[in-house]
Amino acid sequence: MPPAARLEPHVARPARRVPHFHARIPRRVVSETHQHQFGRADDEGNVYLTTADGERWVGQYPGTPEEALGFYERKYQDLAGQVSLAEQRARGGAKAKDMRKSVQTLREALTEPAVVGDVAALTARVDALAAKVDDLDAAQRQQSAEAVIRAGEEREAIVAEIERLAATPAEQIRWKDVHAKVEEIFGRWKEHQRTTARLPKAQADALWNRFKHARRTLEDGRRAFFAQLDEHHKEAKRIKQELIAEAQRLAEQAEPRVNDYRALLDRWKAAGRAGAKVDDRLWEQFKAAGDAVFAKKHEQDALTDAEYRENLTQKEALLVKAEALLPVTDWRSARASLRHIQDEWDAIGRVPRESVRTVEGRLRAVEDAVREAEERSWKKSDTSRTERATGLAQQLQESIADLQRQLDEAKASGNDLKAADLQGKIDTQRGWLRATGVEG
């Protein structure tokens, strides 16, 4: 019988059995107890756990002793499975806080458990698991500390990025893009808060205040920029409306005021933008006035070109005369003839614009040919003069050398009168030599 101290002994109820065609086998008569390595069961279904301190009654099970022991052995296996699962979670790096709760639960389950099996071994495994959880806790605390440091550095980098953007000179910022950029950075900030280690409150608040200040600076600058841009647009619109009125007055003039319209176009460009939609509408009006001015100019040019076609015919006839001078054999005669042609050319007047370059180019080619012939003639003349000067200089040099020899002899003989006469001749001939322009 169980000890009297246990007022409510554990009585296990067997699982419901599925009926089958065999008749119930009557209980086999066995010895008083059925022995097991870690416990035993008697004929009355009482089950005892064998421990180092002796036996301990764990419960009662209706059925054979084998069935009773098997029931409490399965309960042991269930408890051992819980220990194995906890060990596996610890190896997988589960949170140390959760693992401590699991260890506590297992220790409570191993306090006088109603099982049959090696409870001491399970207790030793749980103790080892507790030590492993201590190590796991230390490692996770270290990882957590490192994660906080990394998170602080990463969030600091996000703050530094938006602060650099806020510190950028306003004239270097593309304000149309800055809102999207700020929102992108803010999105990264929120994602970082959500997915990374939680920072200490003081550090987190300090970083947020810096981020918020930089963000507000950028938003204030953006609003100021667009407010100023609106003012510029209004002023540009006013100026362009005035230019449109002036262009329309030019378009009403009888004469084509092309140069005046081009001056208005320069002022239009200098006025700046008035906003995309407004600019397009204003430009259509301004361009329409300009088209009217240029249309009048094209009409006038067409009339003028018709008047100049006769002049073109006359100049083409002159070109035939001018080109007949080529090739130039007598430049003086060719220059005189060309001069008469040029006088007639100027007297005829203008030709159609599309023909100006052609006829002027043909006449210029004749002028260049005559000039080159004249230059070649002068160069040839200069060469002849140079050759004559060189021959005279050579004669003078030889004469001066002879006189110098005679002068040396006169001085050596003491004939001062003859020496003075020879020196005078040398000086005179040296003057002639210098006049030739040839080095002596």
Lowest mean pLDDT among 210-224, 313-327, 388-402: 388-402
Lowest mean pLDDT among 23-32, 37-46, 290-299, 387-396: 23-32
Cis peptide before 327 (omega within 30 of 0): yes
Query: Same structural domain for residues 323 and 298?
Result: no
Strand order across the 46-51 sheet:
33-36, 39-42, 46-51, 54-60
Look at residue 16 and tell me if it is in a domain.
Answer: no
Look at residue 18 and tell me if it is in a domain.
Answer: no
Cβ-proximal residues to 301 (8 Å cutoff; 6+ apart), any chain = 353
Average pLDDT value for residue range 398-419: 87
Candidates 106, 103, 104, 122; CA nearest to 49 is 122
Mark which of 288, 305, 322 sits at the end of a domain.
305
Cβ-proximal residues to 222 (8 Å cutoff; 6+ apart), any chain = 175, 178, 179
What CA–CA distances, in Å, run from 306 to 175, 314, 346?
Answer: 57, 14, 19
Look at residue 293 and tell me if it is in a domain.
Answer: yes
Query: Same structural domain for residues 156 and 214?
Result: yes
Query: Same structural domain for residues 287 and 354?
Result: no
Residue 423 has pLDDT above 70, yes or no: yes
Instruction: State the pairing for strand pair 33-36/39-42.
Output: antiparallel
Q: Residue 248: what residue type?
A: Q
Look at residue 227 and tell me if it is in a domain.
Answer: yes
pLDDT on residue 419: 85
Query: Same structural domain for residues 220 and 207?
Result: yes
Residue 373 has pLDDT above 50, yes or no: yes
Query: Same structural domain for residues 243 and 227?
Result: no
- Enclosing domain of residue 273: 235-305
Mark which of 232, 250, 273 sits at the end of a domain.
232
How far apart are alpha carbons 277 and 280 in whole angstroms? 5
Query: Same structural domain for residues 53 and 102?
Result: yes
Helices 119-167 and 96-109, axial angle in degrees (round to 10): 160
Q: Nearest 5°: phi and psi at 39?
A: 175, -175
Query: Same structural domain for residues 342 and 255?
Result: no
Look at residue 255 and tell me if it is in a domain.
Answer: yes
Number of domains in the chain: 5
Cβ-proximal residues to 367 (8 Å cutoff; 6+ apart), any chain = 338
Look at residue 4 and tell me if it is in a domain.
Answer: no
Residue 317 has pLDDT above 70, yes or no: yes
Q: Global pTM?
A: 0.43
Look at residue 246 and tell me if it is in a domain.
Answer: yes
Mark which of 142, 174, 203 sits at the end of a domain.
142
CB atoms within 10 A of CB 232: 14
Query: Same structural domain for residues 42 and 137?
Result: yes
pLDDT in tens, 179-205: 888 999 999 999 999 999 899 999 999
pLDDT on residue 253: 87
